[in-house]
Structure 1
Amino acid sequence: MMLPDRLKQGDMVGIIAPASPPNLEKLERAITFLYGLGLNVKIGKNLEKEYGYLAGQDEERLADLHEMFADDEVKAVFCACGGYGTARLADAINYDVIRNNPKIFWGYSDITFLHTAIRQQTGLVTFHGPMLASDVGQEDVNELTMKTFSQLFEPTAITYSEQISPLHILIEGDVTGILVGGNLSLLTNTLGTKFEVDTEDKILFIEDVNEEPRSVDRMLNQMWMAGKLQNLKGVLVGDFKNCTPHREKTLLLEEVFDHYIKKINKPTMKGFNIGHCSPNIAVPLGVNVRLNTFDKKVVFENGVQ
């Protein structure tokens, strides 16, 4: 795996919207936060474009992504928000531009498709981290969400323990492996494509939002039938916000997880505030992590050099 360079005071960072249009008022608050970190900011030329539920035409969003990675002045690329649209770009991305200009790439939710594609096409470590507009730009943003950006300035191992949130052991064990994953809907969306997520001997992280237990069941079943859950080293279950049933006859989300985690039968913990939640803790994807249920903690290797 290829680590991006750390950020320094005075560095220029780029902001793009590769999925849906961001809330510009909230984005302005997030930009103020970035300035407060001692960074300078460059906005993608097409960031304010709108095309239905997309932040501009595919060609426009793709151009911003390419330009930010190709720009030597830009040291990190932050996504303004998620929504929908990154899978439409994946097949047209020039991965040589990213491979030859490795830098911090940050976002989550719909950005999961780009995390997976970029990692598997280039080997670059990327960051599953809070969005600028939809997380950092909130008026009541949690302090831990803000502090999670500090890992970009110094190579630092991140330890997630119950000091952050209560963790629940589903399967006991102590295992080390490379972290992959993100939004379950988007991981399922990669199946059958050339960007199909590689989970072999990996530790899989999953999160999602606004999906009924039946939908989570459907996606986990598809991942199982595609052979993506049988050979994992371990599982981290993040936040599944608003994933509640809308019908009378249903399984609980906990029952769905219990069914599949027992089939996987690898060390598993749930309760991580990673995803559509507050606080939203950023973690690097593509690095080695140690999942230790006996100590109830996970240690993520540093994501920058």
Structure 2
Amino acid sequence: MNKRSFLKSLGLGVMGLPLIGKSDALATVNLLAPILKGSVLKAGDTIGIITPASALGNEETITTTKEVLQYFGFKVKEGKYIRERYGNLAGTDDQRLADLHDMFADKSVQGILCIRGGSGASRLLGRIDYDLIARNPKVLLGYSDITALIMALYAKIGLVTFHGPVGASTWSNFVAKTFTDQFIDNKLVTFSNPVNKGESIVQYKDRISTINPGIVEGKLLGGNLTLISGLCGSPYLPDFKDSILFLEEINESPEKVDRMFCQLMNAGILKQIKGFVFGKCTDCSPSAGYGSLNLDQILRDYIKPLGIPSYSGAVIGHIDNQFLLPVGVKVRMDADKGTIEFLEKALV
């Protein structure tokens, strides 16, 4: 059921709301409406490629992104401004916003892939035409700085988007399978870390660590820690009540990671969640000086006292082989086994 059908089913109920502004009325309706979902993709569909954050370094990134999508049998439409540069950004805010709006408005485009993350997506949030996107729900895939769009689109209109590889990612067979399972086959999958002992008698790579044992169900929300902590206090974070929060990070020292977890705690977010998954903290080495907390200590200080099912080490984040997670759907998480099981299809 999409938003349009739901609003129609409300009938005169919406008319009975108090006389308030349009945005307030929509916000009231959105509290009641089911989440919005894009459509399953099929060979021959057109995927739009955009750069809503940092600028691209070279033309080859566009070429390989197109080759990846063509591998799955898709046609590709380039955003008008994907080659632009404005400082470190992929064009001005107006240009990047135009590409985002154009791809959602274009009826010939069935899905949208962000070519890279970086920084700058948060600059767009206050100017996005959320009504336009709500009228045209479709797949949006990306991670890292794209977390800003993922969070805002769910907070504002309940759109299920996808935390996973960007065009510039390494598209391994593992990633290709998760892409097919999600977008073409629309499967209810269960994600767990790869088991690969190699020549060793025990597994050393991609191990999970249980923080608090248990199994829990809830809506899956999350993304990059820096982006989510940076949106605290804004209208672009969703309600985390009864959610399972997943986080990942890159190139941040432990003291900065600690500061961001403190922000989530002080903002009341950690008290609302039912479960927690931490992915990879890539290149998060301590800085020189008097020493530093390590990630295990940070998670022990902020997550352990919550007493909720939780684990770390999931293959989520700035790594080659990563889970592809639909944000906003109901899942079951097992903190002892380190699994995330989809209980609800993410596409229609």
Same fold (TM over 0.5): yes
CA distance in 2, matches of 1:14, 1:296: 34
Is the deviation greater in 104-113 or in 20-29?
Answer: 20-29
Partner of 1:283: 325
Whose helix fraction is larger, Structure 1's or Structure 2's?
2
How many angstroms does 1:196 deviate by? 3.0
CA shift digits 1:155-210 (9 cap, x unpaired): 21121124454322110111100011100000011112111342111100100100
Of 91, 94, 103, which residue of structure 1 is paired with 2:138? 103
CA distance in 2, matches of 1:64, 1:255: 42
How many angstroms does 1:294 deviate by? 4.0
Say whether 1:259 aligns with 2:301: yes
Name structure 2 gaps, 5 residues minimum.
1-34, 196-205
How many angstroms does 1:79 deviate by? 0.4
Residue type of the alignment partner of 1:92: R
Residue type of the alignment partner of 2:119: Y
Residue type of the alignment partner of 1:230: K
Partner of 2:74: 39
CA distance in 2, matches of 1:262, 1:294: 14
2:193–2:314: 8 Å Cα contact kept in structure 1? no
Residue type of the alignment partner of 1:89: L
Residue type of the alignment partner of 2:51: A
The structure 1 segments of at least 4 consecutive aligned residues displaced by more than 3 Å after TM superposition are: 162-165
Of 231, 240, 246, which residue of structure 2 is paired with 1:190? 231
Of 56, 70, 80, which residue of structure 2 is paired with 1:22? 56
Provide the secondary structure at the position in 2 that maps to 1:240.
strand
Partner of 2:258: 217
2:218–2:331: 8 Å Cα contact kept in structure 1? yes
1:158–1:302: 8 Å Cα contact kept in structure 2? no
Of 159, 177, 180, which residue of structure 1 is paired with 2:221? 180
Partner of 2:207: 166
2:115–2:166: 8 Å Cα contact kept in structure 1? yes
Say whether 1:59 aligns with 2:94: yes
Provide the secondary structure at the position in 2 that maps to 1:237.
strand
Provide the secondary structure at the position in 2 that maps to 1:177.
strand
2:193–2:315: 8 Å Cα contact kept in structure 1? no
Partner of 2:177: 147
Name structure 1 gaps, 5 residues minimum.
none
CA distance in 2, matches of 1:93, 1:100: 13
Q: Which has the larger radius of gyration?
A: 2
How many angstroms does 1:146 deviate by? 2.3
How many angstroms does 1:250 deviate by? 0.9
CA shift digits 1:125-169 (9 cap, x unpaired): 100010102x14xxxx43212222111012211211244543221
Of 291, 299, 310, which residue of structure 2 is paired with 1:268? 310
Q: Which protein has greater RCO, CA pairs closer than 8 Å, 6+ apart?
A: 1
1:108–1:130: 8 Å Cα contact kept in structure 2? yes
CA distance in 2, matches of 1:263, 1:295: 20
TM-score, normalised relative to structure 2: 0.84
Residue type of the alignment partner of 1:191: C
1:287–1:302: 8 Å Cα contact kept in structure 2? yes
CA distance in 1, matches of 2:111, 2:260: 32
How many equivalent residue pairs?
Answer: 300
Partner of 1:230: 271
